[in-house]
Amino acid sequence: MKIATTPTNGEILDKKDPYPYGWREAMRTLPDGTEILERTPLTLEDILHPQVGDYRMHSDEHERFCNYLYNVLSARLADQPDAIVLHDLRVAWAHPDFRAHGPDIAVIFKLRRRINWSTFSEEEEGTKPSLIIEIVSPSTRSTDVVTKVDHYARVGVPNYIIVDRFERQGVMVRELVGYHLTPTGYDQLSPNADGWLWLEPVNLWLGLDGEDLVCYDESGEALLNYVGMTEARAEAEARAAAEAQSLAAAEERIRQLEAELQRRTS
């Protein structure tokens, strides 16, 4: 099957990297009856308002952060049957002025049903995200830190968190920015002394620890991802094995001393 790359809106493609944001595919029939798969590069507008089936490019860090948040938040809400965490799924709003967005993480409560959504429709489901978290990619940063701040406020998302990443004086900087909806629009959240932001819908803190994004419970204990849990379990098992070995050695030493004492007194 032939694959044809077509510019978007007459743009000139960079032949070295024709798909900087990803691509969208569709079948097209030529006048001679030949079918080709047409691959169109995504634009920033496509990133802002994705379609089902879009192929989008993400960094390893972006996927690592999203997977961590999805797993931790899903575990946090596991005992709430009317709550769900969605990752990279289109959300169609009831607001008539806004097309669907595709948030990295969306936490939704008051579900009436669970199905295999490809698009979550606020109008059909009767509810919308209470919390959205976006992991910024430098190449599309403006959509998260400017455009979506306006859009999410106007469609009524109560809490919006941005895991920002940008370059400052040649150094890559990570920063958390949070917003809470008020009657007059978004108010920016104030971090605690550690720089963490409180995620009210899930009763967790969110913070940055070096290269890692970390959720903390009310007591300040970090919630580990699967890798972290595996490492912690391995460390605990190693400690238990060492303690068992030390105990066995101590018991053997006691038996030797008791035997020596019995020999001397007999």
What are the sequence ranges of the domains in the chain? Answer: 2-42, 59-223
4-61: pLDDT as tens digits = 566 555 454 566 788 999 999 988 888 888 888 899 999 999 999 999 999 998 899 9
Mention every residue, 6+ apart, whose C-beta is less than 8 A from residue 262.
none
Gyration radius of the chain's alpha carbons? 26
138-177: pLDDT as tens digits = 999 999 999 999 999 999 999 999 999 998 888 889 999 9
Report the C-alpha gap between 51 and 25 in whole angstroms: 11
Range with the poorest average pLDDT among 122-131, 138-147, 249-258: 249-258
Provide the whole-model pTM.
0.80
- Token pair 């030797």 in the structure block, residue: 256
Q: What is the CATH number of domain 59-223?
A: 3.90.1570
Residue 232 has pLDDT above 50, yes or no: no
Sign for the CA dihedral angle at 22, 134, 52, 7 comes to: negative
pLDDT of residue 206: 98
